[in-house]
A = this chain, B = another copy of it.
């Protein structure tokens, strides 16, 4: 059964900026999805900001194994309610791949718990992404590095929690460095951040970038059933304790009462 990937695109600059429209005439989300479709094991669909509920209804997320997120100019237009819904699905086990300027998206900041800030410069400079662990599933087929002739620069400090795995590190022509591929586990969900993808450059047409994204979708896919109770704090009644137990001391709650939240 193929992995069900959903590519979410902000879909703004493609309509307001000539350069971006020229590079991505069908939208960035379509270019990203097209790259994923190069793998018959991936079923890639798209959703955009402009759809009702941004195309991220409960039903849609429930049918998604891995969500990819590209946003930049309209982070603040994403409804908080949708952000919480996506976060809940990640906690339950849905994979999430956050792309480039998505570092400042509500969903990434929500899941990291940190500002996710960085330095930046838009000068079309060379970026070279070095592979840090050649055996990691995400870098298979890449070789030891990935060179991009023109990209926006992102520089450290990148205010993220220490990653579970550092997968790529970038060198920039102008002199900066960046952790450009990193993973985290949050609840049942695997998260991968991948740096490249400024909208004025044809990064998502690059074959190595497409290979990384296909690998990442497969890596982030958790085939286990969703962890439905990840938000719950169930009471274990005394009579259900694994060991025989008698209540001692004073209590705040009545038997069967829900806990505070």
Residues of A within 8 A of B (CB): 13, 17, 19-20, 72-76, 87, 91-93, 101, 104, 110-115, 117-125, 128, 130-137, 140, 144-145, 147, 150, 153, 155-159, 161-166, 169-177, 179, 184-189, 198-201, 222-224, 226-227, 229-238, 241-243, 245-253, 259-261
What's the nearest-Cβ distance from chain B to residue A161, in Å? 6
* Nearest B residue (CB) for A175: B242
B238:A13 contact, CB within 8 angstroms: no
What's the nearest-Cβ distance from chain B to residue A156, in Å? 5
Which of chain B's residues have a CB closer than 8 A to the CB of A13? Answer: 252
A117:B241 contact, CB within 8 angstroms: no
Given A130-B156, A169-B177, A200-B252, 16 new contacts (CB under 8 A): A17-B252, A115-B230, A121-B241, A123-B245, A124-B250, A124-B251, A125-B245, A128-B177, A128-B242, A133-B157, A135-B189, A137-B223, A155-B236, A156-B169, A162-B163, A166-B166
Which of chain B's residues have a CB closer than 8 A to the CB of A20? Answer: 252
B121:A173 contact, CB within 8 angstroms: no
A161:B184 contact, CB within 8 angstroms: yes
CA A176 to CA B132, docked complex, whole Å: 11
B248:A123 contact, CB within 8 angstroms: yes
B134:A188 contact, CB within 8 angstroms: yes
* Nearest B residue (CB) for A109: B113
Which of chain B's residues have a CB closer than 8 A to the CB of A242? Answer: 128, 145, 147, 171, 174-176
A166:B179 contact, CB within 8 angstroms: yes
A124:B169 contact, CB within 8 angstroms: no
What's the nearest-Cβ distance from chain B to residue A127, in Å? 11
Tell me which of B101, B153, B170, B176 contacts A260 (CB under 8 A). Answer: B101
* Nearest B residue (CB) for A129: B177
**Interchain residue pairs with CB less than 8 A apart (19):** A104-B261, A113-B186, A114-B187, A118-B233, A119-B236, A123-B248, A124-B251, A125-B248, A132-B158, A135-B224, A137-B222, A140-B224, A161-B185, A162-B163, A171-B172, A175-B242, A175-B245, A176-B236, A198-B252
